Amino acid sequence: MIQSPHYSTIMLRNFIKLSIALLALMHLPAQAQMTITFSGSGRDLIPIAITSFPGEAALPVGLAQVVRSDLEHSGVFKIVDASAAAPVPTEAGQVNFADWKGRGAAYLALGSVTPAADGKLTARVHLMNIDGQGEKGAFAFTLAPALARVTAHKIADEIYERITGVKGFFNTKIAYVKKSGARYDLIVADYDGQNEQSALTSREPIISPEWSPDGSKLAYVSFENRKPQVWVHEIYTSRRTLVSNSKGSNSAPAWAPDSRTLAVTLTVSGQSQLYAIPSGGGEPRRLTSSSGIDTEPTYSPDGASIYFTSDRGGGPQIYRISAAGGDAKRVTFSGTYNVSPKVSPDGKTLAYVSREGGQFRVAILDLAAGGQEQKLTDTDKDESPSFAPNSKMILYATNVGGRGVLAMVSSDGQIKQRLSVGGADIREPAWGPQGK
Partner 1 sequence: MKRLALLLACTAILAACSSTPKNQVPITEAGGGAPPSSGNTGPSTGNIQQVQAMTPDEELMQGQLAKRSIYFDLDSFVVKEEFRPIVEAHSAFMKRNQGRKVMIEGNTDERGSREYNLALGQKRAEAVKSMLRVMGVGETQLEAVSYGEERPKSTGHDESAWAENRRADIVYPIK
Residue 90 as a binder of partner 1 (CB under 8 A): the answer is: no
Residue from the set 50, 353, 364, 376 that interacts with partner 1 by CB under 8 A: 353
In the complex with partner 1, the residue whose CB is nearer, 278 or 315, is: 315
In the complex with partner 1, the residue whose CB is nearer, 236 or 333, is: 333
Residue 271 as a binder of partner 1 (CB under 8 A): the answer is: yes
Phi, psi of 5 (to 5 degrees): -60, -40
Rounded CA gap, 233 and 305, in Å?
A: 25
Phi, psi of 159 (to 5 degrees): -60, -50
Strand ranges (E), 59-159: 77-80, 107-115, 121-129, 134-143
Residue 248 as a binder of partner 1 (CB under 8 A): the answer is: yes
CB of 249 to partner 1, least distance (A): 5
Taking CB under 8 A as the rule, which mask of x and - marks residues 283-322 in contact with partner 1? ----------x-xx------------x------x------
Give the CA distances from residue 168 to residues 31, 75, 177, 389, 392, in Å, rounded to whole numbers and listed in that order. Answer: 23, 11, 25, 8, 9
Rounded CA gap, 278 and 259, in Å?
A: 9
Residue 265 as a binder of partner 1 (CB under 8 A): the answer is: yes
- Cβ(15)–Cβ(33) under 8 Å? yes
Segment contacting partner 1 by CB under 8 A, of 27-35, 37-45, 124-132, 355-363: 355-363
Segment contacting partner 1 by CB under 8 A, of 16-24, 200-208, 342-350, 388-396: 200-208
In the complex with partner 1, the residue whose CB is nearer, 316 or 432, is: 316
Residue 181 as a binder of partner 1 (CB under 8 A): the answer is: no
CB of 427 to partner 1, least distance (A): 7
DSSP per position, 139-182: EEEEE-GGGHHHHHHHHHHHHHHHHHSS---SSEEEEEEEEETT
Rounded CA gap, 329 and 326, in Å?
A: 10
Phi, psi of 35 (to 5 degrees): -125, 130
Residue from the set 224, 337, 347, 356 that interacts with partner 1 by CB under 8 A: 337
Residue 202 as a binder of partner 1 (CB under 8 A): the answer is: no
Residue 360 as a binder of partner 1 (CB under 8 A): the answer is: yes
Rounded CA gap, 26 and 194, in Å?
A: 19
Residue 226 as a binder of partner 1 (CB under 8 A): the answer is: yes
Give the CA distances from residue 87 to residues 52, 83, 91, 95, in Å, rounded to whole numbers and listed in that order. Answer: 11, 10, 12, 10
Residues that bind partner 1 (CB under 8 A): 205, 207-208, 221, 223, 226-228, 247-249, 251-252, 265, 267, 270-272, 293, 295-296, 309, 316, 337, 339-340, 353, 355, 358, 360, 381, 383-384, 402, 427-428
